[in-house]
Structure 1
Amino acid sequence: MAAIGLAEQHRPQPRLAVVEVTAWRPDRPEYHAKVQVLNSRVASDAASAGWQVVRIGAADVTPAALLAATTDADAIVIVGGEDITPRFYGGATGYEAETHHFAGADEGQIALVRRAVELGTPLLGICRGLQIINVALGGTIDQHIDDGIHRNVGVPIDEILSTHDVELSVASGLARSLGGTQIVVQSAHHQSVARLGNGLVAAAFAPDGLVEAVEHATAPITGVQWHPEAPDSPAEQLPLLLAALSREVGARDSELVAA
Structure 2
Amino acid sequence: MSASGARTLAVVEATRFRGHDPEYHAYVQLLVGNVIAEARDQGWAVTRLAADEGEEALLQRTDGSDALVVVGGEDIDPAYYGAAGGYAYESRHLAVADAAQLALARRAVERRTPLLGICRGLQIVNVALGGTLVQDLGERSPHVNRGFPIPEVLTTHPVLLEPGSRVSELLGSGIVDVRSAHHQAVAALGAGLVVTGRAPDGHVEAVEHVDAPVLAVQWHPEDVAAPAGQLTALLGALRSGVAVAA
TMscore range, shorter length: over 0.9
Alignment match, 1:176:
169
Tell me, which stretches of 5 or more residues in structure 2 are unaligned?
none
Task: Please give the residue correspondences for 1:26-105 in structure 2 after superposition, counting only pairs within 5 Å.
Answer: 26-59=19-52, 61-105=53-97
Alignment match, 1:5:
none
Larger-gyration structure (1/2)? 1
Question: 1 CA distance for matches of 2:66 and 2:172?
Answer: 25
Task: Please give the residue correspondences for 1:146-161 in structure 2 after superposition, counting only pairs within 5 Å.
Answer: 146=138, 147-161=140-154
TM-score by length of 2: 0.95
The alpha-carbon deviation at position 171 of structure 1 amounts to 2.0
- Following TM superposition, the consecutive aligned residue runs of length 4 or more in structure 1 with deviations greater than 6 angstroms are none
The alpha-carbon deviation at position 178 of structure 1 amounts to 1.2
- Determine what percentage of the aligned residue pairs are the same residue: 53
Q: 1:174-202, CA deviations, whole angstroms, 9 ceiling, x for partnerless residues?
A: 00011222210000000000000000000
Tell me, which stretches of 5 or more residues in structure 1 are unaligned?
1-9, 251-259
Helix, strand or coil at the partner of 2:240: helix
The alpha-carbon deviation at position 213 of structure 1 amounts to 0.5
Alignment match, 1:24:
17
The alpha-carbon deviation at position 47 of structure 1 amounts to 0.4
Partner letter of residue 234 of structure 2?
Answer: L
- Pick the aligned partner of 1:14 from 7, 11, 14: 7
Question: 2 CA distance for matches of 1:225 and 1:175?
Answer: 15
TM-score by length of 1: 0.90
Helix, strand or coil at the partner of 1:152: coil
Partner letter of residue 70 of structure 2?
Answer: I
Write 1 or 2 for the structure with the bigger share of helix.
1
Question: 2 CA distance for matches of 1:110 and 1:181?
Answer: 31
- Pick the aligned partner of 1:112 from 88, 104, 108: 104
Q: How many residues align?
A: 240
Q: CA RMSD in A?
A: 1.4
Q: Is the 8 A contact 1:75 1:249 kept in 2?
A: no
Helix, strand or coil at the partner of 1:213: strand
- Pick the aligned partner of 1:129 from 109, 117, 121: 121
Question: 2 CA distance for matches of 1:221 and 1:243?
Answer: 13
Question: 1 CA distance for matches of 2:41 and 2:240?
Answer: 16
